[in-house]
Amino acid sequence: MDGTRTNDAEAVGPRPARTNALPLAGIRVLDVTQVMAGPFCTMLLGDLGADVIKVEPPETGDQTRGAMGFKLKGNDSMGFLNLNRNKRSITLNLKNPAGRTAFLKLVERADIVVENYRPGVVKKLGIDYDTLSAINPRLVYASISGFGQTGPWADRPGFDLMAQAMSGVMSVTGHPGGPPVKAGVPVADIGCALFATYAILSAYIGCRSTGRGQFIDASLFEAALAFSIWDISEYWGTGRVPEPLGTANRMSAPYQAVRAADGYFVMGATNQKLWRKLCQELGRAELLDDPRYADIPSRLANRAILIAELETTFITRPAEQWVARLLAVGIPAGRMNSYPEAFEGVHGRHRQMRLEIDHPVEGKLPNIGFPVKLAGTPQQIRRHPPLLGEHTDEVLAEFGLERDRLEELRRQGAFTL
């Protein structure tokens, strides 16, 4: 690769056809990742039109293919199937010289590489950034890890649970005095995927003017830390170490789950105007004259007794009635849904947050919908989550490996363990 290409139209070799001018159409991504953060990042790129080539170990593939405690019709877990649409799969043994040769052929015409090996592994395999950028100077290369590529913890294995604990996220999750509780969703994994995606796209845009790609170091630990805005702001501002608050909020009260006659709902009177409306709607005008609740700092200092006081009224009616009444006067409120209720409810259906994909083994396959909507170039399901190695010969032929050369690499063990 001579590093002189300035736009997609000048690229050597066949490019995937543009489909409704998706914004990333024509961009080639080599996805050398497994489990969650990396595959989610590359799926987002694929949803926007990139040609994502998932490079998997022979026989086993992405370890998430065999994860979860239940089986579908085929060998792939529902988790894998929700993290890998809009990709093609090839199998390469990167520990084998022939497999590495095939991979380097792909690198010549790739735009982006994303990997999530533990730090140091890609150097041993000969697919690190320094090696690959010498072949393709325009390459944007993202490494996703638990704790980053440098630092005292860099060599540690990193998963979402460890990142939540070691970043402090777990210290503020749960209820005061209770046992440790992790966030119910993998905030470090998903956060890292999102931050990596924004960095990749930024670096790619920069490369279009500079002609040089760059290395991106993304970690679950730092992604989790980046979510600590209110908590660390409280500590830096007051010196008080943040503690768990249950469903409450550090910035305002009342703003949390409250008990009604038939269960909980959430509501937020987060400023003086909404606080006055709440007291009026509840018929509790006396609370407006109570100095313990006079302003936000006072209500925060007396949150526990304030919520107990409000719940003496809330428990007189069902949650849905309170939600309707509060919304009618402009106070934010909502019911506590299960995931099935959220996905299958009227709003989830309207926002198309459950999609169905035609899959060659599973048939109609449910998938989580696109979390943002582009009006001019809406994301599309262009490819089902790939079967292991489904596109190996197809992809390698596209990248210039002739049939005889493919057979030679196959005999040398490029595609098997």
Element (H, E) at 55: strand 51-56
Q: Taking the alpha carbons of 84, 87, 91, 94 in that order, is the dihedral positive or negative?
A: negative
Burial 11-23 (b: 16+ CB within 10 A, else e): eeeebbeeeeebe
* Residue 195 phi, psi dihedral angles, 5° rounding: -65, -40
Question: Out of 76, 189, 217, 231, which one is annotated catalytic?
Answer: 189
Q: What distances in angstroms separate CA 137 from CA 45, 59, 102, 230, one per listed residue?
A: 21, 32, 18, 40
Eight-state DSSP code of residue 332: -
* Residue 333 phi, psi dihedral angles, 5° rounding: -160, 160
Annotated active-site residue 189? The verdict is: yes
Q: How far apart are CA 331 and CA 333, in angstroms?
A: 6
Q: Say how many C-beta atoms besides its own lie within 10 A of residue 222's C-beta.
A: 17
Q: Supply 228's token pair.
A: 């600590």
Contacts of 93 (CB under 8 A, 6+ apart): 57, 58, 99, 413, 414, 415, 416, 417
Eight-state DSSP code of residue 147: S
Q: Say how many C-beta atoms besides its own lie within 10 A of residue 209's C-beta.
A: 8
Residues designated catalytic = 189
